[in-house]
Amino acid sequence: MAAAAVLESRDCTASLNFWEDKGDGSVPAPLYVGQELVTLDRPLVSKLVNVQDISGREHKFHLDNASFHFQKHATNCWHAFWDNALIKQEYYPECERVLVEATGASRAHVFDHRVRRSTVAGGAGKTGPVLRVHVDESERGAIAYLRHYLPDEAEALLKRRWQIINVWRPLVTVERDPLTVADGTTFTKANFVPAVVHYDGGAHAGGWDGESLAVMHSDAHKWYYKHQMTPNEVVLIKNYDSDQNVPARFCPHSAIEDGAEADGLPPRESIEVRAFVFYE
């Protein structure tokens, strides 16, 4: 039997943007999400962190022991990624199947998506990578999402274990600004700061408030990415887990800004869906 190929590690040191605690009791300013615009005005502090390349050892990291999971998955929906209606009609069900198979859950329900193409105007996706460490939902925010998107079922579903998990896929091989995810077991409650997210209507049919988590830096945190992640791979990112006994309930994440070193490389393009995952 031929020996397994040894993958070259591409660990790196990167500057990540964290919530800057002024020590005066101030809280993060709200994030405003409009139909075509996201507005944020918060003090951030940049910290150098070691980011490990997970290539070759993806199988060691799972949603419960680290809060993320990388896996191979070739999509059948390439024709859909320029049309929001087709994304909902065809890609949502595909991602729901991926989540059920990966978790053993009884049901998954995709409720939102983001296409990011930083240099493309029009169509699906006009925003670039998010260059700040965050968790999409706090516990309060997760419950608000559930009650907003599944109002008739929410109270019954809250009595069972449930999660919010993102399925993130690059649309081209990632050459710059890769996504980095953190081992959720290396964070404590003291590292998280609740932050209001205000939706003003538009696609969300009426103004309402959610809540995310801003993240403060600690040297104890462990960060990972996949070097040159391809469109035939996805990473599952657990933003919330109602089970308080699992080692990892939240997954902080951010894009890594490559800066001048990436000049001339193609911009990162990706699609991310957010889904509720339910268990019997």
Q: What does the mean pLDDT of the chain come to?
A: 88
- Domains of the chain with CATH codes: 29-278 (2.60.120)
For the segment 163-183, what is each residue's pLDDT rounded down to a tens digit? Answer: 999 999 999 999 989 999 999
Joined together, the tokens standing for residue 238 give 């657990």
In single-letter form, the type of residue at position 39 comes to: T
In single-letter form, the type of residue at position 28 comes to: P
For the segment 1-26, what is each residue's pLDDT rounded down to a tens digit? Answer: 333 333 456 899 999 999 998 787 78
Question: For residue 77, how many other CB atoms are within 10 A of its CB?
Answer: 17
pLDDT surpasses 90 at 139: yes
Taking residues 247-266, what's their average pLDDT?
82
**Cα–Cα distance for residue pair 41/230, rounded to 1 Å:** 33
Q: Where are the alpha helices (DSSP H) in 220-279?
A: none
Place of tokens 């993320």: 68
pLDDT of the residue at 130: 85
Closest CA to 162 of 214, 117, 116, 107: 107
pLDDT of the residue at 121: 38
**Cα–Cα distance for residue pair 40/221, rounded to 1 Å:** 25
Main-chain dihedrals φ then ψ at residue 158, nearest 5 degrees: -65, -15
Per-residue confidence band for 68, with pLDDT thresholds at 50, 70 and 90: very high
pLDDT of the residue at 128: 74
pLDDT of the residue at 255: 93
Q: Which residue has the higher pLDDT, 201 or 158?
A: 158
In single-letter form, the type of residue at position 87 comes to: I
pLDDT surpasses 80 at 254: yes
Which 3 state secondary structure label does DSSP give 91? helix
Span of 180-194, 222-236, 248-262 with lowest mean pLDDT: 248-262
pLDDT of the residue at 28: 84
What percentage of the chain's residues is helix, strand, coil (to nearest 5)? 20, 35, 45
For the segment 113-125, what is each residue's pLDDT rounded down to a tens digit? Answer: 999 876 543 344 4
pLDDT of the residue at 261: 57
**Cα–Cα distance for residue pair 80/82, rounded to 1 Å:** 6
Span of 11-20, 38-47, 137-146, 259-268 with lowest mean pLDDT: 259-268
In single-letter form, the type of residue at position 144 comes to: A
For the segment 197-246, what is each residue's pLDDT rounded down to a tens digit? Answer: 988 754 445 678 999 999 999 999 999 999 999 999 999 999 999 999 99
The reported pTM is 0.89
User: b/e string for 233-246 if b means 16 or more Cβ within 10 A?
Assistant: bbbbbbbbbbeeeb
For the segment 75-85, what is each residue's pLDDT rounded down to a tens digit? Answer: 999 999 999 99
